[in-house]
Every structure is written in structure tokens, then in C-alpha cells.
A = this chain, B = another copy of it.
Amino acid sequence: MAIAVDAMGGDSPLSVQVEAAVKAVNDFGIDVVLVGAFEQIEETLKLHNYDSDKLRIVNSTETVEMNESPASALRQKKDSSIRVAVDLVKAGEAEAVVSAGNTGASMATAKFVLKSIEGIERPAIASIMPSVHRNHPFVLLDAGANTDCKPLYLFQFALMGDAYARTYLHLENPRVALLNNGEEEGKGYLELKETYDLLKQSTLNFVGNIEGKAMFRDKVNVVVCDGFVGNIALKV
């Protein structure tokens, strides 16, 4: 199995994505499929040494621009690099997609082509965040996919964060917290109070609200917030 890499998306020139893909092949022995303008990618690859059995190119003729609306990208660019990359996952030719391109378009394409896991209504962006404790990162989600979130979405983000922390951080019972403007129950706006109740009644190891500063120091494993707040927290 391989990782599909969107060679066209992002603020950097194609050469950056190609170089990174070669590095992944060489340093980690990963199989990579570079998706984008075939000839340009081929030309750039000539500058590098790598095991050609582990790296192939799949052509695409269109690129989603960074400021393009996800809906129009999805409707009008059916041969974009991100779309072709996601189609490879759908077809079983790749296991995952990496893209530095238009986030909204990537999310929308993935949701449209691959659908969500049953019972999950919205995808979230999960970001691995460092903490003040050595070897103790935590998962912050949503880091920017959904500006407006119903309590049920936030609750489902917690479920996904829990699964992620169990699988990739190898934790048996991840400590899940809700990002809020105070620790006490009842803090935050109405949707957060409702989310708190959902989490409290769940089988998750919910440790309560957490403040923006404390999340870097309190040894929690999953921090849940809406995509607007997550984006601000990530960028600050």
C-alpha cells in the first residue's frame, strides 16, 4: 500500500512536495504516489536518487487554488490533484492522502468521495500538539475544519480523538478534555455546556473543561474544540 501525495497543492512550488516525497521513500521506505502534472513531476524527480519501485506518478490536469471555494473545486475540477489522490484511496490504490493545498477543498473532497465513518457527521482536523512534558503530545481537534459546531459534532470529535490517541499515541484510556474559558462545569457558551453533559454521560475518560494554558501542561491526551477556536489556538 502507498501514500498518495498531492504534488500541486499548497503555497510552495511543486519541487518542495516532490523532495519531501523522495525523502519519505528514502528515509522511511514508504511507498508514495505523487499526483499532479506528470511531466513537471518527472522532470523534478530527475534531480533526486530514490528506489523507483517505491515511487510512481499519477497524472492530473487541474489544480485547486488556495483561495478557491471547496464547493466549486469539487464541482468543477474533477481532475484536480487532490481529487485524483482521494480517488486512489477510494480505489484501494493508496491508504491515505497528504496535501498541503486548500484545506476546505481537501476535506470536502475526502468527505464526498470517501464518506465519513458511520455515526460521524463531520470530519475534523486533528493536530498533534506538543506539551511542556517530554514525550507527551496531545491531540487537538477540530483544528480548523468546522467553524460552527453543534454539541453532537464536538462529542463525535471526542470519540475520534479518543480512537486516534488509543491507536497512534498507544494510550489505553486517553484523558479527554473540553477546551473552555474556565475549568468549572457550566463554563462557556450554551453549546459547550451541552457538549460537557454529553461527554460526562459517555464512556470516554472525560476529565472536564481545560483552559488554553493548562492544556499544554496538564497531561491530557485529547482536547476538543470547534474549528474556529482550534484554528486560533493553533496559530497563536
Q: Which positions in A face B, CB cutoff 8 Å?
A: 67, 144, 147-148, 179, 181, 184, 188-190, 211-214, 216, 225, 227-229, 231-236
Contacts and interface: CB of A to CB of B under 8 A. Distances in A.
Contacts of A184: 67
A233 B231 contact: no
Q: How many copies does the complex hold?
A: 2
A211 B235 CA distance: 7
A181 B227 contact: yes
Contacts of A233: 212, 232-233, 236
Contact of A147 (B181, B227, B234): B181
A147 B232 contact: no
A229 B227 CA distance: 12
A150 to B, nearest CB: 13
A186 to B, nearest CB: 9
Contact of A236 (B189, B228, B236): B236
